[in-house]
Amino acid sequence: MIFRNRCGYVAILGRPNVGKSTLLNQLLGFKLSITSRKPQTTRHQILGIRTIGGDQIIFVDTPGMHLSNKRAINRYMNRAAKSATSDIDLIIFVTDRTSWTDEDELVAKSIEDAGAPAILVINKIDLFPKKNALIPHLNKLINLPGVVDTVPLSALRCENLDSLENLILKYLPNGQHYFSDDQFTDKSERFLVSEIIREKIMRQLGDEIPYSAAVEIEEFKERKRITHISALIWVERKGQKKIVIGENGEKLRTIGRDSRLDIEALLNCKVMLNLWVKVKSGWSNDERALSSLGYN
Ligand SMILES: Nc1nc2c(ncn2[C@@H]2O[C@H](COP(=O)(O)OP(=O)(O)O)[C@@H](O)[C@H]2O)c(=O)[nH]1
Ligand SMILES: [Mg+2]
């Protein structure tokens, strides 16, 4: 048996909605980071740790880098994405099929600045009928500064993920493990629970609300083998509160039920979940409110 003892930080970068969090969850083999069809689902930097024998890969999921810097929350997300490129051993640069936008260009620039080698992933190839048409695009991207390899894959359908994993191990530096072998993230259960609830809000509600919602865990206690959780959903306006609650409380019940099922799977125990909706006007553009909601 050969013990190689490789260990390193691998940042997953890309513009919003290209499938970074989906890819992270598939590489880890469980759902750590929340995903949805809406851009900017991931707001925080989050570590996903995978230990395979002598090797430990520490993935860093990031909010997508985007051009809008208008609100404080957008600035927070861009900072979180940008800071993920310092002290990194390897970058996975995720792009979506053959489209190439100004935001991809922004990511490419920050990769050049970061100085770590980057594996370029072309995601969502399941949506691409003619795979041959990818070749000229691949050939173009391999010449980007910092890019050392390219892999077309489908994160959602688990196509070609093993090629990516082999490449990651190829570029992972030798070194002692930073985390114990049974640790899978740097985040608390409380944080992961609040993220699950936010995911259900993102998935259940129309376009306007998700960007205006934040979740705060008020109570998290185990009593008689049942974990009791109370959470506040903060929105910015009264009208939004009505939408989140829905007719006769229907929406909030669905959000609560879907959340509870995922939380039970995460914590591996029975959960009683109480959700409340409150209005805190302008929280997404208020540095102090942001920091009290954990965005710091
Ligand atoms: N068809 C397809 N959809 C994908 C794939 N990977 C991710 N998605 C979808 O793309 C959307 C954005 O994914 P997410 O992981 O949240 O993107 P992120 O913003 O980059 O973290 C979600 O609706 C995913 O289900 C893929 O390989 N194929
Ligand atoms: Mg994400």
CATH 3.40.50.300 fits 6-171, yes or no: yes
Pocket test for ligand 1, best of 17, 26, 125 (most atoms within 8 A of CB): 17
Atom of ligand 1 nearest to the CA of 37: 23
Give the pairing type, strands 118-123 and 90-96. parallel
Q: Tens digits of per-residue pLDDT, 241-254?
A: 999 999 999 999 99
* Residue 210 confidence (pLDDT): 67
43 is written with which tokens?
Answer: 């707001």
CB 148 within 8 A of CB 48: no
pTM of the model: 0.84
Which residues place a Cβ less than 5 A from the ion ligand 2? Answer: 20-21, 42
pLDDT band at 258 (very low <50, low <70, confident <90, very high): very high
| Any atom of ligand 1 within 6 Å of the Cβ of 156 | yes
**245: nearest Cα among 284, 271, 278, 220:** 278
Angle between helices 238-245 and 250-267 in degrees, nearest 10 = 70
- The third-level CATH classification (topology) of the domain covering 189-292 is GMP Synthetase; Chain A, domain 3 (3.30.300)
Ligand 2 centroid, distance to 223 Cα (angstroms): 33
Decide if pLDDT at 4 tops 90.
no
Q: What is the whole-number distance in angstroms between the Cα of residue 14 and the centre of ligand 2?
A: 9
For 28-80, what is each residue's pLDDT tens digit?
Answer: 988 888 888 887 777 778 899 999 989 999 999 887 766 777 778 788 777 77
| DSSP state letter for 64 | P
Our answer on whether the CB atom of 126 is closer than 6 Å to any ligand 1 atom is yes
- Break the chain into its structural domains and give their ranges: 6-171, 189-292
**Residue 18 Cβ < 6 Å to ligand 1:** yes
Beta strands in the chain (DSSP E): 6-13, 46-52, 55-61, 90-96, 118-123, 147-152, 214-223, 226-235, 270-279
Torsion, Cα 267 46 124 207, to 10 degrees, reads 80
Span 129-177, pLDDT tens digits: 777 778 888 888 888 999 999 999 999 999 999 999 999 999 999 999 9
148 and 14 Cβ atoms separated by less than 8 Å:
no
